[in-house]
A and B are shown apart, each in its own frame.
Chain A
Amino acid sequence: MQLHEIVKLLGAEVLVGAGDLDREISAVHASDLISHVLATCTRGALWLTGLLDSQIVNTAELFDLSAVVFVANRRPTQDIIEAAEMENVPVLCTQYTMFESCGLLYSKGLKPSRRCG
């Protein structure tokens, strides 16, 4: 599924990366823990989170995640937005809660981001 379809599905606002909405997404990671992202994420995964921390963008860029979605209308601060613009990490914001966002994406066939082996 392309990122623009996810924007539509989640009724999301695109805060950063309007030009990168053709990114292809097959797996999703949903967590407020950076530790969990590090231990389980796969390249190209979409990251749903409610955590507002400056390390989010760093983490997404370092691990080749395709975009970050802030759920439950958590608004990223200006420094997060600026970092995302610099690092070219698309940032979305949705009104849906983590539970609802996951449910919507799951029902459309998206898979959990999971490492084999």
Chain B
Amino acid sequence: MANAESVVFRKSYHIEGGNFQSAGSVSKKIKQILKQLNIDGEIIWRAMIVAYEAEMNVVLYASEAEVILEISPKKICMIFKDKGPGIPDIPLAMTEGYSTATREMRERGFGAGLGLPNIKKTADNFDIQSTVGSGTQLIIDINIF
């Protein structure tokens, strides 16, 4: 997280697990804010990749999540803290191609097992922690400069 003094914007959002109707809406709200702050399009695009991957994982696998967006002059920080089953084997979940997606999720175009590796590749900083039976927390930074 950024120093409290340097944070120019902070907001929190809620994601409902299992709700495909509203899926993507938090990412969209974050995009609008980044645009209003005149952040470079390429940086917004990278922020959207990680935000949407993380949001969809909550929709697909968790019951709900709180998202905290913090923008400082140097970076965009997003924290996704969900209540859900947690991830028993994080290195395995981080492997390209590993997915526990159901058939329905795959029919909707998800479940290639690329999301977490894509977040790691796209982010400037990425931390994942998970407790089985309780939930998962992602901290993702995208540098602005």
Contact = CB atoms under 8 A, between A and B. Distances in A.
Given A58-B28, A62-B27, A35 B52 contact: no
Interface stretch (B6-14, B68-76, B85-93, B110-118): B110-118
A67 B1 CA distance: 36
B45 A35 contact: no
Contacts of B49: 38, 63
B27 A55 contact: no
A59 B114 contact: no
Interface string B26-50: 0110010000000001100100110
Interface string A45-63: 0000001011110110111
The DSSP consensus for interface residues of chain A is helix
Interface of A: 32-36, 38-39, 43, 51, 53-56, 58-59, 61-64
B20 interface: yes
Interface of B: 20-21, 23-24, 27-28, 31, 41-42, 45, 48-49, 52-53, 108-115, 117-118
Contact of A35 (B27, B41, B114): B114
B76 to A, nearest CB: 15
B112 A33 contact: yes
Contacts of B114: 35-36, 38-39
Contacts of A64: 41, 45
Contacts of A58: 23-24, 28
B118 A38 contact: yes
B109 A35 contact: yes
Contacts of A53: 108-109
Contacts of A38: 49, 52-53, 114-115, 118
Given A38-B49, A38-B52, A38-B118, A62 B24 contact: yes
Q: Which of B112, B113, B115 counts the most chain A CB atoms within 10 A?
A: B112
User: Closest 3 interchain pairs by CB?
Assistant: A35-B112, A34-B109, A58-B24
Nearest to A34: B109
B108 A43 contact: no
Given A35-B115, A38-B118, A62-B24, A43 B109 contact: no
